[in-house]
Structure formats: structure tokens, C-alpha cells
Amino acid sequence: MAWYLGYILVYLAILVGIAFYYFTKVKTSDQYIISAWNTSFWPLVGTIVSTWCGAAVFIGWVGMGFRVGVSGFFQFALPGIIFCLLLIYFFAKPIRRQKMYTLPDMFAGRFGKEAAIVPSTLSAFVYSVPTTALQLVGMSTIFLLAFNIPVPTGILIATVIMLTFTLLGGLPATIMTDALQSFVLVLGIIVLFIGSLIYAGGISKVLANTPIEYLSPIGPEGLGAVLLFALSVGPFYLIWQSTWQRIYAAKDEDTARSAGLTGFALAGVISILPYSIGIMARGYLPADLNPNLVFSTVVFEVLPPYIGGIVYIGLIAALVTGGTSFLMQGGSNLSRDFYQKLLNPYADNKKMMRASRLSVLIIGVGAFIVAIYMTDIITLYQWALRLSGTMLVFPFLAIMFWKRVTKAGFLGSMAVAGLVTLTFSYWGIGAGLDPAIAGFPASLISLVVISLLTKHSKTEQVKAIYYGEVFDTDIADSIVMGKNIKA
């Protein structure tokens, strides 16, 4: 295991060095939270690839390929990429034009500061905490397999590593290391793909030994299951704040769009590899192997330690980049949407920096607790996707296109969509259906009906920003300060 330990120590030393460098450079909360809206093309491409190709690529998608074959790509990866590309192509420019910090900032600018509370809660606690916890559990698994470190101890070590890096460097360090780590993790997955293909006997033997249903886009579960999963999960990526943060961080609108399209196109191509590795592994691993163990088993089975260590560094890079991104996402929600908007609108830079770092710490501690005590984080994560998607996708689209949407319609839509999504499984009419299938129509219908029956409130800026309109920052600031304005 000396190779694994050596690779990991070198990697962590570089990571800490970068974090300390940016600790000396980051002087304002704008730099810490959103990289001062000044990130160029290639760093943005790198951070998009790294954030997308997180632990799910190395562990989840290899296991999914092993379990259901090619259809896993069409169920999850492809719909996510398509919706991310749609977000970038149609909305990157109007989003970046607002020069904000978070997704809830958009709702606050349109409807007033109270409108950010529910989206911020969803983003910070319902999504960021369990998603960060998944990265901590993934890293603890590496420590267990490579060094026989108990899982609780591994979770603690992983938490310290991710928190130290994020607290010191903020989003600038995250973006820079993501750009570097994208190369490492892509190299790792390519090495594992080639090694697995050789070990399995080449393409012709893989095709001959793989049942046809595992090579079909609809897979062993059928077309209905593939479409159902794709349509229930895919729309979430329109309001995935990790992408929004990268859009805001871009130095201009054109960079936000071009880097986003390039990054997600590359991520889509890379996403094919882990599913392929899982399919190839069916030829030489027991069919009843736990899918979550397929990745680590393939590494130990196929690759010598001096090469397997590179793959493990790629996995650690994926986990770190995912963890730090989600820590920053949740931290920015707490510091910007709760602390500054609701508690201290006159906070100076020093207080905002302190609040930003404290917010990251809160998300990290919450993720540690979930990772230690929750036995089914995956289910919690899936519910986070459902609730975030059903409650926020149509309100986001309304802000883009429909001036008639009202604050009452926005708030009522979120309440109805959340209630329907949470209770749909218990009505007895949704057997076998994902609750999001009911949540999305409920969101749209309630948004339209309530908006048509109500009037704009005094805190609204009645604009459809897709058509080039920009929220007035002076008015937005007055909303943050708690003053009423006329629509």
C-alpha cells in the first residue's frame, strides 16, 4: 500500500499548498463566495468537469453500469447533461447579467428578501448537507480499503481535509484546484477503462459475453423505467446551484456560456466511461457483488498498485472537488441569503468574511453528523433532488419568461409542490411512480392559477429577465434592507 499512501500524501500536500496560497490572496467576501465574478474560460471548464464527475462517476455509475448496463447512462447521466446544456445555452447570459451570488438571490431580486428563505433552506440543508456527506462517506471507504482505517475515523479525516481547504481558499481555490483535478480524475477513469478492457479480453469478447439487455438503452428495467427516472431527476439540473455559481463566477456573459457548453459536453463524453467499466466488469466479477464495491474491486483486481494509486487519486480528487463545491454552495446560501439578507444587511466585508467561513463550517459539521449517523444517505439525496426540482424549476422559468407571476403564486407553488411530492407515495395512486411526476404538474398548475388570482406585492420587481431585463441593484439592496418598494 506504499504506492497509495505516497500518492495521497503528495496530492494532499499540493491541495493544502493551494489553499494557503489563496488564503493570502482572498481579501473580500465577493472573492471568497463568487471569485469576484472574474473567472476565465479554462478554469471554468475544469471546475465544471470536476464538479460533474464527482464520486458518482467513480463509485455510483460504475456500479450502475454493472447492475443495469448502458441504460444507466440514459437514466441519469444523459438527462442531467442535457438539462445542464439547456440551462447554459438558453439562460447562462441572462443569469450572469444579474451579477448575483446564489440561485435564491434571483428569487429575492424578483419577489423580495423573504422569497429566498425556502430556496436557501433547500439548497443549504436539504441538498448541500447530504450531498457533502456522500463525499465524506466515499472518502472514508477509500481509507478503509487502502489503509484499513475504520469508517468513522475516515469520515472525520475527510471532514478535516475538506473543511480546511474550503475555509482557507473559498471559491477561488475550489475553482483552481477543480481545473487541476479535472485532469487527474479524467486520467484516472481513462486508465481504469483501458485496464478493464484489456483485462476483460477486448471489445469483441466483452460484447460476446454481455447479455443484450445490458447493451440496450432501455436495459433490463424497460423503457418506462428509463424515461420515468430521466424525467423525474433531469429537470433538477436547471436549478443546480453548483452550475449557477460557475455561471456567476464567469468574467462575462460570453465566457459563462462558452465555458459551460464546453465543460458539460466534455463531462457528457466522460460519463460514458464508468458505465462501460461496469459492463466490462460483469465478465470477470461475481454477478451478485454489491454494485457499490465494483469500482474498488476492479481497481484491486485489474491494476498494479503503482497504477491503481493514480486511479485512487482520481477518486479522491473527485470526492474533494465535489465536497468543496457543495460546502461552498451551502455556505454561500447561509452567509448571503440568511445572514446578510435577514440578520445583518449592513454587514461590512470583515463580518461577511467571518460569516462566510462560519457558514461553510456549519454545513461541514452538518454533513459530518449525517455521514456518521444516517444509514441511508442515498435516499435522503434522492429526496433532495425531488423536492428541489419540483419546488423550484417552474418558479425559475416563470422569473425568466412570465411577468404576470406573483409573489403569492411563487410561495403557493412551492408549498403545493412540496406537499404533493412528499405525500404522493402515500395516496395509494402512485404505485411504482416517482413522486416528482406528480410534483411538477402540481407546481405548474398552482403557480399559474394563484398568480392569475393575485396581484403583485410591493416588494416585487416585475421583470422577465430572459428578454434582457436586469434587476435594479439599488432596489434589490433596499429589499435586503427591509424597505418596501412599488412594483
Alpha-carbon span 54 to 178, nearest angstrom: 11
Question: Which residue, 182, 480, 132, is CA-closest to 325?
Answer: 132
Q: Which residues is 250 bridged to in the sheet?
A: 39
How far is residue 95 CA from its own chain's centroid?
A: 18
Residue 427: exposure state from Cβ atoms within 10 A (0-12, 13-18, ≥19): exposed
Residue 100 is given by DSSP the state -
Q: What is the pLDDT of residue 483?
A: 43
- Residues in the chain, how many? 487
Q: What is the pLDDT of residue 57?
A: 64
Q: What is the pLDDT of residue 93?
A: 95
Crossing angle (nearest 10°) for helices 129-147 and 151-200: 70
User: Looking up cell 489563496, which residue turns up?
Assistant: 22
Q: What is the pLDDT of residue 14?
A: 86
Q: Would you report the helix, strand and coil content of the chain in percent, each value rounded to 5?
A: 80, 0, 20
What is the residue type of 155? I
Which H or E run contains 18?
A: helix 2-25
Q: What is the pLDDT of residue 36?
A: 65
Q: Report residue 471: phi and psi, to 5°.
A: -65, 135
What is the residue type of 442? A
pTM value? Answer: 0.85
CA distances from 317 to 27, 140, 146 (A): 26, 13, 16
* Mean pLDDT per 10-residue section of the chain, whose length is 487 residues: 79 84 82 78 87 70 87 87 95 91 89 88 89 86 82 92 87 75 80 90 90 83 74 88 89 94 93 91 86 79 82 79 85 88 86 91 94 77 86 96 96 95 74 82 97 94 90 56 41
Q: Report residue 472: phi and psi, to 5°.
A: -70, 115
**Radius of gyration of the chain from its Cα atoms, rounded to whole angstroms:** 22
Contacts of 238 (CB under 8 A, 6+ apart): 83, 86, 87, 91, 389, 393, 396, 397
C-beta separation of 129 from 367 below 8 A: yes
3-state secondary structure of 462: coil
> How many Cβ atoms sit within 10 Å of the Cβ of residue 217?
13
Q: What is the DSSP code string of 183-220?
A: HHHHHHHHHHHHHHHHHHT-HHHHHHHS-GGGGSTTTT
What is the residue type of 411? L
2-388: which CATH architecture? Up-down Bundle (1.20)
Q: What is the DSSP code string of 368-437?
A: HHHHHH-S-HHHHHHHHHHHHHHHHHHHHHHHHH-TT--HHHHHHHHHHHHHHHHHGGGSSS-TT--THH
**What is the grid cell recorded at 14?**
499540493
Which H or E run contains 363?
A: helix 349-373
Task: Using CA atoms of 402, 404, 407, 413 in order, give the dihedral in degrees to the nearest 10.
Answer: -70
For 69: left if phi > 0, alpha if psi spans -120 to 50, otherwise beta; the answer is left
3-state secondary structure of 250: strand
Alpha-carbon span 140 to 132, nearest angstrom: 13
The tens digit of pLDDT for each residue in 386-422 reads 899 999 999 999 999 999 999 999 999 999 999 999 8
Alpha-carbon span 271 to 73, nearest angstrom: 8
Contacts of 27 (CB under 8 A, 6+ apart): 349
C-beta separation of 87 from 243 below 8 A: yes
Q: What is the pLDDT of residue 227?
A: 78
The residue extents of the domains of the chain are 2-388
